[in-house]
Structure 1
Amino acid sequence: MAEPTALTSDLIRSVPKVLLHDHLDGGLRPATVLELADEVGHPLPADDAGSLGRWFTESADSGSLPRYLETFDHTVAVMQRADHLARVARECVEDLADDGVVYAEVRYAPEQHLGGGLTLEEVVRAVQEGLDEGMAARAGGPGRPVVVRQLLTAMRHAARSREIAELAVAHRDDGVVGFDIAGAEAGYPPTRHLDAFEHMKRSNAHFTIHAGEAFGLPSIWEALQWCGADRLGHGVRLVDDIELGEAGVASAVDDVRLGRLASYVRDRRVPLELCPHSNVQTGAAASIAEHPIGLLARLRFRVTVNTDNRLMSGTSMTREMQALVDAFGWDLGDLRWVTVNAMKSAFAHFDQRLRLIEEVIKPGYAEAGLV
């Protein structure tokens, strides 16, 4: 019998990956933040790339919400000009491609990038320009091509969600594949934005909702049953509707009882955009080893693996997958399973999803040694 393939970081980096939950303003290179901040005169807490990168991750790990939110003050501050937005978007494509990502949906809130005088339309066009440049460069070079699409996000505490939803629909043929809401869950339920979600549904358009991260089951229930979300951004607190049996351990899946909401989510194959390292930072999970993704995967929910904020979490898809291999003993088959899950759940058209699964993802895992 052949020995199982050793899952080194290099091997994991080489296999195709699909990323559904990644924030553009949470994934900048520290060196780029330094350069752009110098151009616009924005003060930073460190003056070299290494120190600045450590400041971002340490701040996100601090347990202090104000300090965590301050990290985004610095990234958003250097994303107020069209050329800066385009550069950040282009580098995002480059970094994802170098990490083996073959399809990604990158989200950001256009309303947060108007400080330099840009319009919402100009923000979307600038980001698309950068994505197009990055994809074109990758298509003409070594390695697999990468497809990166935009998800437009509205802030839960603001009042522009209908406007952002209309913007997403207006650019649906120009690189935007969907809509999202983000921000504090507590006090800002998704039902405040029903008009935006109704517009998306009437337009036959896709949307995901941040739900079940900082807030629990009511947030997930509203996102699905009131708003009609196609996917759940995080959804990690769904585990609160799963009762362990007498054994009392997550590994005893034969003795697990699902509540009505958890059963609905699994039966309907609602995709969960899980972000392990980020969930640990925000307190949604105590550690990677205790992250509900292990149980949810064994129960065969539609689990996907994501980065959330690569800069703040000091992470990548390779690091997220490696952590799950180490914590739960996942093998290449498990990594392919979550990758196919994500591709099936993407907002790209069916024929595009099928082509990537059959022509890129499955062959890529076969090359890595998965029969």
Structure 2
Amino acid sequence: MSTNFLSVSLILIVLLTFSSLSPTDTKCQFTLENHDYDFTSFIKTSGNHYYEDTYNKKLFVFNVCAKTNAVKDPYTCECCTPDKYSSITQSNGKCLAWGNDDQQEYSFIDNNNWDVGVRQKYRTYNTGGYVKRSTVLQVFCSENAEFEILSAFNETTFPPLIVINAMSKHACREPAPTPTPTNDPTFCKAIVDNEIFNLSPLKGRYTWTDKLTKGKYYLQICGLLTDVGDCSCCSSGVATGYLETSDGVCKRLGDLNNFAYTKLPNSIDINDGVSLTYHHKVSSTITNMMRFDFFCDPDVSPGEIIDIIETGVSPTRSEINFPSIHGCYVNPWNSPTPNPSPTTCPTGCPSVTPKSSTLPKGSGLSGGLVFLVSFLCGAATFVGGFFVHKYRKNSTTQYEQL
């Protein structure tokens, strides 16, 4: 087989169980690596898929996501019982059943690497005893094929394994649709430069005291601050954050609907991350700001505020440094993820700097241009008008400012 159509492929693994599917279960759809696939057209409602190995005198009879039907001419198979198994092999007049369709698992193969995938062990009755058997259907991407069987054979393994290779345009990878943007500031998930960030586990109230100035911060991530604690001048359910100075003066730092997500540069030794910024317009010339910098750190879960830095007094600009595993992207298109428990971002992610590239069929999201003007200034990085202070892990303290 040419590698031109083998660059993307799928393994469909049919697990052996003994219950029956409902007659209404006529679809074969699934999602792998953020791509949707539909093998429904492979289902045979009459007849079956056949592959005849005349040299070894073997007939492979199978269906996809369904049980086999009665065998039709020109094939004959005396031991092929309809509506019982999904895969049957007749060899020299003897029949071996290879499982049914009641449970199914799917694995993804890329770059024609046949070793990638999940193989399940089956168990079925044969000659009075339990024999573990398995069937693997590998469908390779081919833009011009509807469903074409290439080969079928028995692997010399134990337990026995039958491999059926086919190619189809339905196995070609299609990019999943980008979640619809929303202006809901409480959603706590965002797409920034086609990377999905899920800050939902960090959603809530936080307090922090500046040991130098004695100022106290009362902050809320992805919501209004309703629990103002012992703050004597804060208002409940009005803002996303306050700073109460040592002399009792309150500074309103941000409003819920005035928010933005941006991508962080490489700010620490580990990885980049994402920022969530809130603004509060004090007057026509003064706008306060508080920015959560969620540095990506796969070793910190869920994470906590390690520092708040004031970079301005009038207007007040507060930078909240917050290393967390949730500052790592959770499901970038066609990229490895540093998050051990990736989640797919559902419809409703705020989309930042969307791409405008045309996507060729069978490809993942390709890159557009993202314009950032940045320069190094001492130990800080200047991005979009704000300083991002750099931190690193230390052998004696969790983090230290550079």
Question: What TM-score, normalized to structure 2?
Answer: 0.20
Question: What TM-score, normalized to structure 1?
Answer: 0.22
Return the structure number with greater strand share: 2
Higher RCO (CA-CA < 8 Å; seq separation 6+): 1
Return the structure number with greater helix share: 1
Structure whose CA Rg is larger:
2
